[in-house]
Amino acid sequence: MTSVPVTQSAATAAEVVDGPYLQVEDLQVTFPTEDGPLTAVKGLSYSVEKGKTLGIVGESGSGKSVSSMAVMGLHDPKSAQISGSIRVGGTEVVGLSEARMRSLRGNSMAMIFQDALAALHPFYKIGAQLEEAYLVHHSGASKRDARRKAIEMLDRVGIPQPDRRVDDFPHQFSGGMRQRAMIAMGLVNDPSLLIADEPTTALDVTVQAQILDLLQDLQREFNSAVIIITHDLGVIAEMADDVLVMYAGRCVEYGTTKQILTSPEMPYTWGLLSSIPDVTASTDARLIPIPGNPPSLLNPPTGCPFHPRCVHSDKVPGDLCVTELPALTPATGPGHLKRCHIADPSAVYRTEVLPEIAPELLEETR
């Protein structure tokens, strides 16, 4: 394999392409199960430009990880049916041969996972795992080059004494350091697209902030497109330029981070915002959870998938919520999209939701 020319051509191809580095169009991912086909992602479209960060939020089972793993081509082709289009740096990834896919994976696009203790191999040294990731895409490089690169990357992500810690096993690292090593491994080939799947979920809050800072620094340095998958709107506020809210495998709201956090127009997003604890609020303040459970993807609810849990469906005339899936339509702000039947959701948000979750913000907006 001539990997050096391959990486070069991939890099130049990426520069030639105008517009977003990653473009996902009408993505659908279906798994055949014993109880029938399970469609985990339906009609999902989004794009991410280089240097920008897209946050994908949603509950467990909303399809956030499944859609990102489809981008990386990590689903078993025997058990997952993927349709639609995923273009990475101009290359159509859906239906791409395994060999071509492998040369992209870990090279022009990389993924970092939550729970680095499980995601790193327990029997190999940190350095060996980084070297392996480097060497598989640089077959011309020597073992010593790879080791130097591994130490350099560990240093870059803030591991103290990287020349010594490179020979440690994952269990000898602390949780935060493991996640840093995971990030170093993801970035070792300077990918143009980085997908971070709940990168801070297993960490304590102070370490979370450090990891997020690190990711932001690295993004500025490498100018890569970043997708950050999370259920934590705090992470979104910190990191993302744009936000995609997913529910039951579909996009239910899309907009800039400011639009989503300050003027959301979909009751599910309101629910997510209402359930964030506020450290400055009085200790008597109540969290408002979203009632009910995430829907079954095998038998999704008719109409709007959120209607069984939606407390605002009475504002829609007739039983439209039950019978008809709302289209993803433009909301008030530019580029802001929402999937809801309510005629004027921003008015409902201002008069009913905001007073309950953040009355002080209401004062400001008035």
Which residues of the chain form contacts with another protein (CB under 8 A)?
Answer: 72, 74, 98, 102-107, 110-111, 113, 115, 118-123, 132-133, 136-137, 169, 171, 185
- Using the minimum distance from each CB to another protein, give the nearer residue, 72 or 153: 72
- Using the minimum distance from each CB to another protein, give the nearer residue, 185 or 251: 185
Nearest distance, CB of residue 268 and another protein, angstroms: 29
CA distances from residue 265 to 309, 317, 328, 332, 342 in whole angstroms, order as listed: 16, 18, 11, 9, 9
Nearest distance, CB of residue 338 and another protein, angstroms: 33
CA distance 14 to 6: 12
For residue 246, the cross-strand partners are 251
- Using the minimum distance from each CB to another protein, give the nearer residue, 94 or 288: 94
- Using the minimum distance from each CB to another protein, give the nearer residue, 87 or 137: 137
Nearest distance, CB of residue 153 and another protein, angstroms: 13
Nearest distance, CB of residue 119 and another protein, angstroms: 4
Nearest distance, CB of residue 180 and another protein, angstroms: 15
Nearest distance, CB of residue 107 and another protein, angstroms: 6
Q: How many residues does the chain have?
A: 366
CA distance 161 to 207: 19
- Using the minimum distance from each CB to another protein, give the nearer residue, 118 or 287: 118
- Using the minimum distance from each CB to another protein, give the nearer residue, 215 or 266: 215
- Using the minimum distance from each CB to another protein, give the nearer residue, 167 or 213: 167
Nearest distance, CB of residue 88 and another protein, angstroms: 13
